[in-house]
Amino acid sequence: MSSVIQVVPLTSNVGARIEGVDLHADVDADDIEQIRRALWHYSVLVFAGQRLDAGEHSRLTSFFGSLAPLEIFTFLGNSNPGLAIDPRKGGTVSSDGKSGRPVGFEKPPAVKASADALHPVSEFAGWHTDSSFTRRLPQAAALRAEVIPPVGGDTTFSSLCAAYEALSPTMQGWLQGIQALHVVPPGYKNAIKIWQYGEDAEARFDAEYQPREHPVVIEHPETGRKALFVNPGYTHRIVGMTDRESASMLRFLYDHITQPEFVYRHHWSEPGDVVVWDELVCLHRAPNDFRPHERRLVRLTAGQVAPNPPTRQSTMIG
């Protein structure tokens, strides 16, 4: 029998809390569909107060697609859909997504560690879409809190749909049809510990992940809503503009998409809380404001989706 799920909006533009569903038990198909639709509509869902374990986290994430790692990890031969985010472990460590325990093949780097490796961060501290230089992104990502610091450690999300919809029709029209180049930023390969994947891993990675063009305006495959698709973490330039024009346009867009009106800031209350977000149409960041305290989150990813340009009229889920 279906539960009575309540979808409680957290702001006007992004984020909702899901209540009235017991995630320790089986959830029926109608309820799963309601939760999926809520994610496509609100972009960020908060499941709080149920103290979910690693297996329940995994099952919840699978509501939104088959568990799968980021494209780069699949390419490198790592099929684990989970990542433990813990600055004490040098940033991120693969997790098997079931037990929550780190997995992988730890060994010391064969090359001298760079400054980035010596000063690891927890999550990327700047606004970004995970690895937007790849062909496909996860349909959804889900963070579960394991250790919450006594101060700071929030995770923030910004709605790229709401940001697009707040632009003037003139600007919306102008941005449609242009492309931006997304690149692997400095420090990225150290952050993922690419040396773990074999001696030829860096060369293979460099050959595969050349700068990639994506549309600046994309369409959500489930809702048809349009969204901006640029982020300060990986977008390098606007194609077809001079350096000055591109830098000015990106500065404007970054300022626009990170306005507080489009942002939900999640404060982690207790271990086992889970926050799911729609990777395609959300930026996220984790302010680095909790040191020297411990903070540990586990991220699972599910499904794959490409950032495609608009092909249809926008339709909103009611």
Cα 198 to Cα 6, 92, 202, 248: the distances in Å are: 48, 18, 8, 40
CB of 286 to Fe ion, least distance (A): 8
Cα–Cα distance, 24 to 34 (Å, whole number): 17
CB of 130 to Fe ion, least distance (A): 5
CB of 124 to Fe ion, least distance (A): 5
Q: Select the residue whose beta carbon is closest to Fe ion and give its number.
A: 130
Size of site (CB under 5 A) for Fe ion: 1
Cα–Cα distance, 202 to 207 (Å, whole number): 9
Quick one: CA torsion of 180, 186, 191, 193, rounded to 10 degrees?
Answer: 110
CB of 284 to Fe ion, least distance (A): 6
Task: Between 31 and 86, name the residue whose CB sits nearer to Fe ion.
Answer: 86
Task: Between 31 and 146, name the residue whose CB sits nearer to Fe ion.
Answer: 146
CB of 308 to Fe ion, least distance (A): 21
CB of 285 to Fe ion, least distance (A): 8
Task: Between 131 and 246, name the residue whose CB sits nearer to Fe ion.
Answer: 131
Task: Between 124 and 164, name the residue whose CB sits nearer to Fe ion.
Answer: 124
Cα–Cα distance, 275 to 192 (Å, whole number): 22
Under rule CB under 5 A, which residues in 90-149 are in contact with Fe ion? 130
Task: Between 215 and 233, name the residue whose CB sits nearer to Fe ion.
Answer: 233
Residue 278 interacting with Fe ion (CB under 5 A): no
Per-residue contact track with Fe ion, 44 to 73, x per CB under 5 A? ------------------------------
Interface residue list for Fe ion (CB under 5 A): 130
